[in-house]
Amino acid sequence: MLIASEADVTTAALDVMARTDNLRLREILVSLVHHLHGFVRDVRLTEAEFREAVALLNEVGQLASDTHNEMMLMAGSLGVSSLICLLNNGDGGNTETSQSLLGPFWRLNSPRVENGGSIVRSDTHGDPLFVTARVIDGQGRPIPGAEIDVWHASPVGLYENQDPEQAEMNLRGKFTTDGDGRFRFRSVMMIGYPIPTSGVVGRLLKAQRRHPMRPAHLHALIFKPGFKVLISQVYDPNDPHIDSDVQFGVTRSLIGDFVRHQEPHPVQADVAGPWYSLDYTYVMEPGEAILPRPPIR
């Protein structure tokens, strides 16, 4: 059709989107055009602002590398990642869930570690952390043979792919649950950290006068055929930014009990104190076990 007015643009675009063969893709594109055109009208986007927006999106893509994912950071900083997670888990967002954000730092092929082993692979100063965890289904039954990737930032607030001082795959490991659905490991207590702010996301936070901090947390990705892959983060409630996560990721069900102990460890003779312990239960939902695409290599 020939375009006679601004309203005709939306009508014509919606008509084209409605011809998409794939039903789900058609639903997404029709809704996208409807809301995107509505947004442009709502804020009366100027030509200069549109050109700037295009430049920013191009810059976000150009900032991607094997060790950095700016688009994932932006999605989290706008609350989109958390919204999608909660809408798609916990009975469509109606109940609590162990599911959380994947984040921009998960890597494939973490080294396999025996239950009770350590994921510390280089000289990493910090208070020892001993994690005991259990994986169950919605009825409380243990899930044996589940594979768990765990990873977290160091006591200086950096993942090993960000820090040349850390060994490859430091503070990462892959475990398998035992017959009772349990796994355990030793690490060091993590701290909260700022997300990378050298790119577009950093400029957004500065413009909004927002801090870039994420509260201290432990990542886990749990895989077991017959269950939806569980991506989780367990947060330290004592972190000063527990209620102002820059990525909007903290829910009540994801707050763990990181207990600080002053006395010597009852089993580990090399741990005089202080040290930390965490006991946490992950709940998996039935579904198709599909691993996500890693955000970095």
pLDDT at residue 90 in the model? 80
Residue 296 domain flag: no
Same domain? 121 vs 232:
yes
φ, ψ of residue 34 in degrees (nearest 5): -60, -50
Residue 74 domain flag: no
Say if residues 221 and 252 touch (Cβ distance below 8 Å). no
Q: What proportions of the chain, in percent to the nearest 5, are helix, strand and coil?
A: 30, 20, 50
Same domain? 128 vs 243:
yes
| DSSP secondary structure, 258-290, as one string | -EEE-SPPSS-TT--S-EEEEEEEEE--BS---
Same domain? 117 vs 39:
no
Residue 73 domain flag: no
Same domain? 182 vs 265:
yes
Report how far residue 79's alpha carbon sits from residue 236's, in angstroms, rounded to the nearest whole number.
20
| Number of domains forming the structure of the chain | 2
Same domain? 214 vs 122:
yes
pLDDT at residue 1 in the model? 77
Residue 119 domain flag: yes
Query: Which helix H or strand E contains 43, and what residues bound it?
Result: helix 23-43
Residue 175 domain flag: yes
pLDDT one-digit tens code per residue, 261-291: 999 999 999 999 899 999 999 999 999 999 9
Same domain? 122 vs 249:
yes
Averages of pLDDT over each 10 residues, the chain, 297 residues: 93 98 98 98 98 97 92 95 90 78 89 97 95 97 98 95 94 98 98 95 98 97 97 96 96 95 95 96 94 87
Tokens of 134: 């259990």
Same domain? 139 vs 4:
no
Query: Which helix H or strand E contains 154, and what residues bound it?
Result: none
Report how far residue 38's alpha carbon sits from residue 58's, in angstroms, rounded to the nearest whole number.
23
The domain that holds 160 is classified in CATH as 2.60.130.10
pLDDT at residue 97 in the model? 86
Say if residues 103 and 295 touch (Cβ distance below 8 Å). yes
Same domain? 25 vs 136:
no
pLDDT one-digit tens code per residue, 41-67: 999 999 999 999 999 999 999 999 988
Same domain? 27 vs 167:
no
Same domain? 36 vs 104:
no
What residues contact 184, with CB distance under 8 A and at least 6 apart? 115, 116, 130, 131, 132, 133
Residue 79 domain flag: no
- What is the reported pTM? 0.90
Same domain? 23 vs 142:
no
Report how far residue 188's alpha carbon sits from residue 129's, in angstroms, rounded to the nearest whole number.
5
Same domain? 3 vs 146:
no
pLDDT at residue 93 in the model? 66
Say if residues 154 and 170 touch (Cβ distance below 8 Å). yes
User: Which three-class secondary structure state does DSSP give residue 115?
Assistant: coil
Please give the residue range of the domain that contains residue 6: 1-45
Residue 14 domain flag: yes
